[in-house]
Amino acid sequence: MSDTIKINAEIRGDVGKGASRRLRREGKVPAVIYGGDRDPVTLAVGQQELLHATDTEAFFASILEIKVGKDRKQQAVVRDMHRHPYKPVIMHIDFMRVSAEQVLKISVPVHFAGEDESPAGKASGVVIQHQMTEVEIAALPKDIPEFLEVDLSDMEAGDAVMLSSIVLPEGVTIPALEMEGEDNDSAVANAVHIKESQGTGAAAAAEAEAALAEGELGEGVEPVEGEGEDEDEGETEDKKAEDEE
C-alpha cells in the first residue's frame, strides 16, 4: 500500500456558483466529501496544494487523509474531479469516505516491466502494445497497492499477457475476473508484427500535403484550439468553466 497522502481542508458554509467563483479567486478549490453513514460536507482545499498532489500518480489510487483543523481527520478516496478546459486549475473535487473494514473498488495504474529485455522487444518489426493503463481492483483500504506490475520480460512475438496472469498482492482481487464468462479475461499487453510502412506517419503526411495543394483544406477548416480566439471569447470560456459546478 502507498503512503497516505494528507490534504488540508476547511469547512465552507457558502455554496452555489457565486460562492465557488469567490473561492477560486482566493486560490481555493470547492470540494465535497460524502459517503459512509454521515451527511455530505462542503469543503475548500488549497489550489496549489491540490495541484501538487495530483501530479503524483498515486493520488488517484490511494487512501487520502482529509484533515480539517487540528483534530478532525477522515480517510477518503477521489471520486470525481473537474479541471479547467485549458488552464492549470482544478474547478471542483469530490471525495468519498472510506472505512477500514469496507472492501473498496478502485482503479490503480498498471506498470510494465522487462519490455526492452523481452524477445518481442528485441525483435525487428514487432511492437508491444499496452492495452490497459489501469485496472479496477477490490481490496480493503490497507491492502490497496499503489500500482500493479506486469512482467513482459518473457514475451515473444505474437504473445498476449492476460488480465488473469497479473500477480496480485495479498488481499487484492480483480472484480472483472470474478464475473462469469471467459470474455472478462482481457489482454493487458500484446506483441504484434507490423508492416514496414506502419507507424511512420509518412502516408498520412503525404495525403495531407496533397490535399493542401489541391485546396481541400481551405474554407471550412476549423482553427486549432487556442488559435484565433480574442480576449472576449477567452473570458466567455472562463465563465463557462466556472459555471460547470
pLDDT digits (tens, 9 = 90+) for 84-126: 999 999 999 999 999 888 999 999 999 999 999 999 999 999 9
| CA–CA separation, 124 and 136 (whole Å) | 34
At 202 the pLDDT is 47
CB 141 within 8 A of CB 98: yes
CB count in 10 Å sphere of residue 166:
19
Calculate the average pLDDT of the chain. Answer: 82
CA distance 154 to 114: 8
* Higher local confidence (pLDDT), 66 or 210: 66
Kindly tell me if the per-residue pLDDT of 229 is higher than 70.
no
**What mean pLDDT is predicted for residues 142-166?**
94
pLDDT at position 184, please? 75
55-95 confidence digits (pLDDT tens): 988 898 889 999 998 888 999 999 999 999 999 999 999 99
pTM of the predicted protein model: 0.69
In the numeric block, which cell numbers belong to residue 61?
489510487
Q: Is it the case that residue 232 has pLDDT exceeding 90? A: no
Encode 200-227: b = buried (16+ Cβ within 10 Å), e = exposed. Answer: eeeeeeeeeeeeeeeeeeeeeeeeeeee
Say if residue 2's pLDDT is above 80.
no
Sketch out the chain's domains with CATH numbers.
5-97 (2.40.240.10), 104-193 (2.170.120.20)
Give the confidence band of 162 by pLDDT, cuts at 50, 70, 90.
Answer: very high
Q: Hey, is 48 helix, strand or coil?
A: helix
User: Is 63:103 a contact under the CB 8 Å cutoff?
Assistant: no
Percent of the chain residues past pLDDT 70, beyond the cut: 76
List the end-to-end C-alpha distance of the chain, in Å, as a whole number: 33
Three-state secondary structure of 156-193: CCCCEEEHHHCCCCCCCECHHHHCCCHHHCCEEEEEEE
